Amino acid sequence: MATPSHLRQLNQRRVIYALMRLGQASRADLAKATGLSQPTVGKIVDELVGTHVVDSADGTAGDDAGSPRLGRPGQLVRLDGRRQRFLAIQLGVMNTRLATLPIAARLVDEWDTEFATPSSPQAWVKALKKAMDHLPLQGLEALLVSVPGVVNETSGDVLLCPNLRWAEKMNLNQMLTGLTPTPILLVQEIRALALGQLAVDPAEGDFLLVDFADGVGGAAVVGGKLFTGSAPLSGELGHTPVLGNNRKCGCGAVGCVETLVSRRGLLATFAAETGRNTTDWPALVEHVQRRGLDPWLIAALETAATTIAGAINVLGLHRVVITGSLTELPDCVMNHLADAVRRGALWGRYGEVQCVAAPRRRTAGLVSVAIDRLLCPDVGNSQWSVVSGQ
C-alpha cells in the first residue's frame, strides 16, 4: 500500500519531469501537465523550492532554504540550473567524458571535459581523478556513470564489454568508491539514452531507441517505463548475427550486425569498397553527400533495418528513435533506414511506423536516474542500486 510519503515523492517526480519537459511553467500549467490539483502542485512546488530543486523563472526563488518566495500562483517556475548537484561520467570506448550537472539537465549532451579512454582500469581511474581535479565538485550529491556493455547495474559488475575489454570482469562500484563521498549510480549507456529521451518528451509514446556508435545498442520504453528483463543483459542489439556476414566481432562471435553498421564497421566497408585506406569519418560523410547511397551502404542499412524491425515486432512498438553516427550522415541515409524499417515491421501493414532521428540525451537520462533513485525514490522500484562513495 502506498504511504503518504511515497505518494508525495511520486507527485514530486511528476512535477519535476513536467518542468524538465516544459522548461518553465506556472502552477496552472503544471496542474494541467501532471493531472494534479493546483493546491497540490502549489504545495509540491513550495517543497521543491525549499530543497533548491525549483526556483522562479527570474531566478529569485529558493535563495533561502526553507523560505519559498514564489509570489502569485501565475508566476513561472523552473528547475534549478545554478546548483551543480551531480557529476556525470560517460565511460566510452574511445573517450571518457565528464560534466557537472544541475537538476535542470541539458536537453542535448554537452560535456565539460574529456580524455582518451586508457587501455587499463588503473590508468582510467588515474586519468579520471586528474580530470575531476579541474571540475567544481563542492556540494555534489551523486556520481552518475554511463557504462557500455552488459552491466549488472545492481552489483556494479561489467559482465561483457566487447568494445572495451579491460572493463570486463571489473566491478565499477569498487573502482569508483573513494573518488567522492557521494552515492554512485551506474546505468548501462543505451538505457541512459532511452531514459533521457523519455524524460525530455514522455508524451511521444513508447519507443525503441537505437544508438549507432562504436557499437550498436537498443533500449525500449514500454508502458511509459524503461523495459527491464530478468537478466542484466540489455542494450546489445548490435550483437544480432547477420547471415552472409563473416566479420569477426569483439564479442567473439562472427557476423554481428554492428560489424557492418557501427561507426567502425561503416568506415571499414567504405575503405574496402573505395580502395581508400581511411578512418576519416568526414570523408565518408562527403562521399555520401556526393555519391548518394552506394550498394554497400544500402546493404548495411537493410541489415540494420531487419534487426530493428525484428525487435519492434517482438515488443509491439511502432516508434523507433535513432541516435548517433547515422544521424550525422546525409538525410538519404536516415530516409532509407526508415523506409526499410517500415517494410520489415508487421505494424507497417496495418498502421504507421515512425522512425525518427534525435540527438543524444545521455546527461538528461543520468539526471532522471538520480531523480528516481535519490531525490524522489520509488520505494517499490529496485531497478538500480545506490552505492556509497566511501
Winning range, highest mean pLDDT, from 1-10, 38-47, 259-268: 259-268
What pLDDT is stored for residue 390 in this prediction?
32
pLDDT, mean over the chain: 86
pLDDT band at 5 (very low <50, low <70, confident <90, very high): confident
Predicted TM-score of the model (pTM):
0.87
Q: For residue 101, what is its C-alpha cell?
A: 550537472
207-212/319-324 β-pairing: parallel
What pLDDT is stored for residue 295 in this prediction?
96
State yes or no: pLDDT of 299 exceeds 60.
Answer: yes
What pLDDT is stored for residue 250 in this prediction?
84
Range 271-295 average pLDDT? 89
State yes or no: pLDDT of 2 exceeds 70.
Answer: no
Q: Do domains 86-194+362-375 and 204-357 have the same CATH topology?
A: yes
What share of the chain has pLDDT > 90, as a percent?
A: 47
pLDDT, tens digit (0-9, with 9 covering 90-100), for 54-112: 888 775 544 443 444 444 556 899 999 888 999 999 999 999 999 999 998 777 899 99
State yes or no: pLDDT of 388 exceeds 70.
Answer: no
Q: Which amino acid, residue 305? A: A
State yes or no: pLDDT of 137 exceeds 50.
Answer: yes
Lowest mean pLDDT among 115-129, 182-196, 237-251, 370-384: 370-384
Lowest mean pLDDT among 107-121, 157-171, 247-261: 157-171
* CA gap 250, 259 in Å, rounded: 9
Residues 86-194+362-375: name the CATH superfamily.
Answer: ATPase, nucleotide binding domain (3.30.420.40)
Residues 204-357: name the CATH superfamily.
Answer: ATPase, nucleotide binding domain (3.30.420.40)
Residue 157 phi/psi, 5-degree rounding, is -80, 135
What pLDDT is stored for residue 380 in this prediction?
52
What pLDDT is stored for residue 152 in this prediction?
86
Domain boundaries, the chain: 4-79, 86-194+362-375, 204-357
Lowest mean pLDDT among 102-111, 205-214, 329-338: 102-111
Among 219, 220, 135, smallest CA distance to 179 is for 135
* CA gap 53, 381 in Å, rounded: 22
Q: Which residues of 289-318 are buried (b: 16+ CB within 10 A; e: fewer)?
A: eeeebeeebebbbbbbbbbbbebbeebebb
Give the CATH architecture of domain 4-79: Orthogonal Bundle (1.10)
Range 162-174 average pLDDT? 87
State yes or no: pLDDT of 317 exceeds 90.
Answer: yes
pLDDT band at 136 (very low <50, low <70, confident <90, very high): confident
What share of the chain has pLDDT > 70, as a percent?
A: 89
Range 200-204 average pLDDT? 73
pLDDT, tens digit (0-9, with 9 covering 90-100), for 182-196: 899 999 999 999 999
Range 368-390 average pLDDT? 63
Range 317-329 average pLDDT? 95
What pLDDT is stored for residue 208 in this prediction?
95
Q: Which residue has the higher pLDDT, 352 or 278?
A: 352
What pLDDT is stored for residue 322 in this prediction?
97
